[in-house]
Amino acid sequence: MSLNFPALVQLLTDRLPTVMSPARVQHVLGVTHVAATLAGRHGLDPERAALAGLLHDQFKEVEPDRLRRELEALDERIAPDDLDFPKVWHGARAAAYARHELGIAAADLLESVALHSTSDAAASPLTHLVFIADYAEPGRKRAEAAEILRVAREDLAAGYRLALRTKIGYLLRRGRAALHPRALRALEEAFGPGELDQLAREAASEPENGPRKPGGEKTFELSH
Ligand SMILES: [Fe+2]
Ligand SMILES: [Fe+2]
User: pLDDT tens across 117-128, in order?
Assistant: 999 999 999 999
> How buried is residue 171: exposed, middle or buried, by Cβ count under 10 Å (0-12/13-18/19+)?
buried
Domain spans of the chain?
5-150
pLDDT in tens, 113-156: 999 999 999 999 999 999 999 999 999 988 899 999 999 999 99
Query: How many residues in total does the chain contain?
Result: 224
Kindly give the distance from the C-alpha atom of residue 192 to the centroid of ligand 2, in angstroms, as a whole number.
27
Kindly give the distance from the C-alpha atom of residue 42 to the centroid of ligand 1, in angstroms, as a whole number.
23
The interaxial angle of helices 125-136 and 22-41, nearest 10 deg, is 140
Mean pLDDT of the chain: 92
Q: Which residues surround ligand 1, an ion (CB under 5 A)?
A: 57
The interaxial angle of helices 46-56 and 22-41, nearest 10 deg, is 160
Q: Tell me 80's DSSP state.
A: G
pTM as predicted: 0.92
**Measured distance CA(52)–CA(34) in Å, rounded:** 11
Q: The domain 5-150 is classified under which CATH number: 1.10.3210.10, 3.30.530.20, 2.60.40.10, 2.40.37.10?
A: 1.10.3210.10
User: Do residues 19 and 90 lie in contact, with contact meaning Cβ atoms separated by under 8 Å?
Assistant: no
- The total of other beta-carbon atoms located within 10 Å of residue 212's CB is 13
pLDDT in tens, 77-104: 899 999 999 999 999 999 999 999 999 9
Kindly give the distance from the C-alpha atom of residue 224 to the centroid of ligand 1, in angstroms, as a whole number.
6
pLDDT > 90: percent of the chain = 84
- The total of other beta-carbon atoms located within 10 Å of residue 75's CB is 8
- The total of other beta-carbon atoms located within 10 Å of residue 81's CB is 16
Residues 6+ apart with CB under 8 A from 105: 99
**Measured distance CA(215)–CA(148) in Å, rounded:** 27
User: Do residues 144 and 129 lie in contact, with contact meaning Cβ atoms separated by under 8 Å?
Assistant: no
* Phi, psi dihedral angles at 32 (to 5 degrees): -60, -45
Measure CA of the first residue to CA of the last residue in the chain; give whole Å. 29
Kindly give the distance from the C-alpha atom of residue 133 to the centroid of ligand 2, in angstroms, as a whole number.
8
Kindly give the distance from the C-alpha atom of residue 132 to the centroid of ligand 1, in angstroms, as a whole number.
12
Residues 6+ apart with CB under 8 A from 65: none
